[in-house]
């Protein structure tokens, strides 16, 4: 009897605890307004910068806003989809900022920078897919998790191959051919 009462009291306390952690509509709206205000402040901080430095600053401000909005949604309506959206938002924000940083370069170094940024972006997005599939998976759906992992591995490998291939463009003749063959062998292309 004592065990049943203890389990019942624990269950009731868990219910009230989870309800206490839930975000109300008013709290949600307040946080949305705070995120908008933060964006305005961050954009204002970029005003004194010039050229690509300003572009980078604005990209970082927009990225921070997108990530904050995704995190707010995940708090307001928790779930695997929202968790994936947070990871994707972080990957997208980092990618956009990395592309702006690559604008400071020219020629092949810029191409390599962009390919590296794309490879990291693809990897982060694919990892978010795998995490979602893993979270949703049960024993009967392990095949979908394995399929998601295989697809993520393939996408990541292709993006890394493209970045390695761009690095080979700095070479000429036999050195370039050797570099490209090594890249194909390393990434299984």
Question: How would DSSP label each residue in 117-150?
Answer: HHHHHHHHHHHHHHHHHHHH--GGGHHHHHHHHH
Q: What is the pLDDT of residues 145-186, one digit of tens each?
A: 677 777 878 888 888 888 988 999 888 899 889 988 888 888
**Separation between Cα atoms, residue 63 and residue 88, nearest integer Å:** 11
Residue ranges with strand state E in the chain? none
Closest-CA residue to 87 (of 137, 130, 31): 130
Domains of the chain, by residue range, sit at 24-86, 105-189
Q: What is the pLDDT of residues 120-156, one digit of tens each?
A: 999 999 888 888 877 776 544 666 667 777 787 888 8
Closest-CA residue to 61 (of 47, 31, 40): 40
- Classify the phi-psi angles of 78: left when phi > 0, otherwise alpha if psi is within -120 to 50, otherwise beta: beta
């Amino acid at each position: 009897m004592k065990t049943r009462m203890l389990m019942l009291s624990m269950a009731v306390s868990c219910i009230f605890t989870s309800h206490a952690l839930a975000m109300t509509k008013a709290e949600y709206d307040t946080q949305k307004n705070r995120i908008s205000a933060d964006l305005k402040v961050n954009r204002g901080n970029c005003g004194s910068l010039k050229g690509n430095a300003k572009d980078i600053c604005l990209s970082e401000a927009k990225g921070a806003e997108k990530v904050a909005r995704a995190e707010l949604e995940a708090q307001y309506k928790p779930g695997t989809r929202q968790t994936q959206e947070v990871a994707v938002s972080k990957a997208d924000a980092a990618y956009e900022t990395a592309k702006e940083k690559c604008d400071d370069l020219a020629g092949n170094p810029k191409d390599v920078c962009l390919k590296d940024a794309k490879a990291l972006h693809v990897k982060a997005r694919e990892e978010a897919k795998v995490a979602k599939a893993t979270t949703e998976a049960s024993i009967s759906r392990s095949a979908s998790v394995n399929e998601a992992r295989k697809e993520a591995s393939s996408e990541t490998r292709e993006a890394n191959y493209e970045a390695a291939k761009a690095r080979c463009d700095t070479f000429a003749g036999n050195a370039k051919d050797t570099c490209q063959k090594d890249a194909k062998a390393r990434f299984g292309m």
